[in-house]
Structure 1
Amino acid sequence: MWGYKRFFKRTSLETSDYLKDDCLSVNCMVGVVKSHTEGPKIYSIPVPPSSMGHQFGRLLESGKGTDVNFEIDGEIFAAHKLVLAARSPVFRAQLFGPMKDQNTRCIKVEDIEAPVFKALLHFIYWDSLPDMEELTGINSNGSSTLMAQHLLAAADRYGLDRLRLLCEANLCKDVAINTVATTLALAEQHHCFQLKTVCLRFVATPGNLSGVMQTDGYKHLKESCPSVLTELLEYVARVSEHSVSLCRHGNEAILDGSDINGRRVKQRL
């Protein structure tokens, strides 16, 4: 019994010494963290904008390394397969897909005019629209609108969504009585819903409808997209209701809570 107590006491003392040593070792590992405050940055390195489009555009102009040709109306356009495939899913399938053209030395392109294809290539390489007046050689809004219409159709054909939106934006800015009907038909055929809405509102505006109905484009619209005439009649009826409401209640109260320009207004109680 005495030996057991002596052993237990000795073990307890050794454990206590171990814990003391361990605590000392932990205390020795405490470090000091230094902090500092950064002053204002007075130096900066300017980064120029991306020049990738310019470089690829110069590559197209130089004609170096071209490995595919396109023939449109007897005119030849040389290009690079990899660039076309990277930019357009349609060109990618045509040049590298399972059903790719066997002869890429000269691919004939139908249903597209040479200036339009040239503008298409310009966008693919430069990532921007070309100067329409310089491209057509005609200084007039009508020629620019016509080129934008054809280029929109080409953009939809080759799956260039950004180019299609750029053409839509330009056509929205240049909407006019003598071109709006053809633009409306184009918007319907290529599912350009924003452009279609702009055209419908323009035609339905009082004073524009009678002028639009006298154009050749309106005749083309009736033949190619007769369903659009129903939507046009709905817009005309809505504008007429707006006009009646404006005459009765002033500039605020209209039937669907918007004015003839489509802006939301507060209805009169």
Structure 2
Amino acid sequence: MSAAAEVQRMAAVDLGALLDAGEGAVVTLVAGGTRLAAHRAVLAARSPVFRAMFQHDTLEASCGEVRMADVEGPVLRHLLSYVYTLQAPQLTGTAPELLAAADRYGLSALKAACEQQVLAQLEVETAAAAAVLAVRHSCPSLTAAAIHFIRSQTHKVMVTQGWADAVLQYPKDIVEVSRLLGEPPAEPSRRQAVGGVARGGRLQTAQPALAALCPGRGTVCPSSRAPSPLHSAVPATQSGHTAWRRSLPAQRLPRPEKHDIAESLSQEERGRRLIEAAKQGAAEQLSELLAAGADVGARVVGLWGSTWTALHLAALGGHVAAASCLVGAGAEVDARTSLEQRTPLHWAAMWGHAGVVRLLVGASADPNARDRWGRTPLHRAAERGEAEAAAELLLSGADRGARDEDGRTPLDLARQRGKQQLVDMLTQR
């Protein structure tokens, strides 16, 4: 062992003993019910975040206590142990949370070690979370491995809960994952091999990852639950009254088994099937059709001659997976129906599909878009009493004071329709 390495080892041992002794501690780190004593000098030497905190003598630090609201107790223990010993814990169960904490506090070596642990655990139920984690915390090796992993397991991942959870909780990051999936694939290095871990002297690959690519378009298509046909009643509003008529009757599609089946169809037939798949929420069929060259902007004529895009229909039906697939393929998030001039966000808000609302605003849909009657998505959610969708819109910056062509705000509509929960929500500031 070199002299420098021995000095570093002994320093780590000495600091580890100092932590155990707890003598001379001048600051307390607090995470939930966990309180750990630590030395300012050690924290500042290891972490630029702590160093800046102590240099500027923040209010908490000056009181001898630092509350870490973004870290849980067990993770704080591992984080502090690393700060004193420079030894990354081999606890795979907390690797994602520890990676996030290491990134927040500038512990680059710990972050890299956790990245390798997360990479080694890639499998069907964890790869979606791993891809989101990699994107959120700028982990190049993990990002490359997760994207490669996802491409290799397109159809297996479409039935996992993990992808659905990622779409709902991290829509902006899922859009970024979609963009990365659309880039030309590159062979990962042996070090970055998907989940590659040495076992018995051989490089083995971990289990398949969670995620799904709409092949050829770089679109992420999680599967919705068992596809069901949407016999959509397309709304048409006149003079404040909504008349519902059955239109665009859903038809069961023959399921292509391979992309070459879809490729043999005419462009017109691909477009028709794309529309039907969007109504049904059939994300896997959308994947195959888009891979074969179907136009993501294809439209269909509905009630009274109004034209709708596939994304409008997926939003109307509340199909998060299908909507995610279409958004990732480049569907225009603020496209308008030709008659009502409503965007997909209008329809999702109107029918209380909060998951689709979250996805669309995460993809930069305009929360204040106006329809033919000057109403925003928030107007539509308010008049129907869709509280969860309204909450998502407010979080995205929807204007609660917007007025329609009759001068009414969303609050006015909620009061007129007797939607007390929305009245309460819209009167709060």
| TM-score in terms of structure 2 length | 0.40
Root-mean-square deviation (CA, aligned residues, Å) is: 2.8
Q: In the TM superposition, what are the counterparts of 1:49-60 in structure 2 within 5 Å?
A: 49=6, 50-60=9-19
My pick for the range that moved more, 58-67 or 48-57, is: 48-57
Q: Which residue of 1 aligns with 2:334?
A: none
Matching residue of 1:219: 164
Alignment-derived partner of residue 141 in structure 2: 194
Q: Which one has a larger percent helix, Structure 1 or Structure 2?
A: 1
Corresponding position of 2:51: 92
- Corresponding position of 1:139: none
Q: CA deviation at 1:92?
A: 0.7
Residue 222 of structure 1 contacts residue 229 of structure 1 at CA under 8 Å; is this kept in 2? no
Contact 2:28–2:37 (CA<8 Å) still a contact in 1?
Answer: yes
Deviations 1:130-169 (A, max 9, x none): 242xxxxxxxxxxx2x411001100110011111111111
Shift of 1:173: 1.7
1:217 CA drift (Å): 2.3
Confirm or deny that 1:231 pairs with 2:180.
yes
- Equivalent residue number for residue 167 of structure 1: 114
Find the partner of 1:109 among 64, 68, 76.
68
Partner of 2:31: 72
**How far off is 1:51 after superposition?**
1.5
C-alpha separation in 1, matches of 2:110 and 2:63:
25
- 1:209 is aligned to 154
Summarize deviations over 1:115-143 as a string: whole Å, max 9, x none.
Answer: 111111011111011242xxxxxxxxxxx
Contact between 1:93 and 1:99, CA under 8 Å: does it hold in 2?
Answer: no
Where structure 1 has 5 or more consecutive residues not aligned to the other structure, the ranges are 1-44, 133-143, 239-243, 245-269
Cα displacement string for residues 32-64 of structure 1 (whole angstroms, at most 9, x for unaligned residues)? xxxxxxxxxxxxx99683321111111111111
TM-aligned CA deviation for residue 211 of structure 1: 3.0
SS at match of 1:163: helix
Between structures 1 and 2, the one with greater strand share: 2
TM-score, normalised with respect to structure 1: 0.61
Partner SS state of residue 70, structure 2: coil
Hey, what's the Cα distance between the residues in 1 that align with 2:111 and 2:86? Answer: 12
Residue identity opposite 2:181 in structure 1: L
* Partner Cα distance (2:58, 2:73) in 1: 25
1:119 maps to 2:119: no
- Using the alignment, how far apart are the partners of 1:46 and 1:73 within structure 2? 42
What does residue 135 of structure 1 align with?
none
Q: Which has the larger radius of gyration?
A: 1
Using the alignment, how far apart are the partners of 1:46 and 1:125 within structure 2? 21
Give % identity.
32
Q: Superposed, which structure 2 residues align to 1:20-31 within 5 Å?
A: none
Structure 2 CA distance for aligned equivalents of residues 102 and 177 of structure 1: 43
Tell me how many residue pairs correspond in the alignment. 184
Query: CA 1:63–1:75 in structure 2 vs 1: closer, same or farther (change >3 Å)?
Result: same
State the alpha-carbon separation in 2 of the partners of residues 94 and 107 from structure 1. 10
What SS class does the counterpart of residue 101 from structure 1 fall into? Answer: helix
CA distance in 2, matches of 1:58, 1:102: 24
After superposition, the C-alpha distances for 1:98-123 in whole angstroms (9 at most, x for unaligned) are 64635442222202100111111011
Tell me the distance in 2 between the aligned counterparts of 1:204 and 1:75: 41
Aligned residue identity for 2:164: K
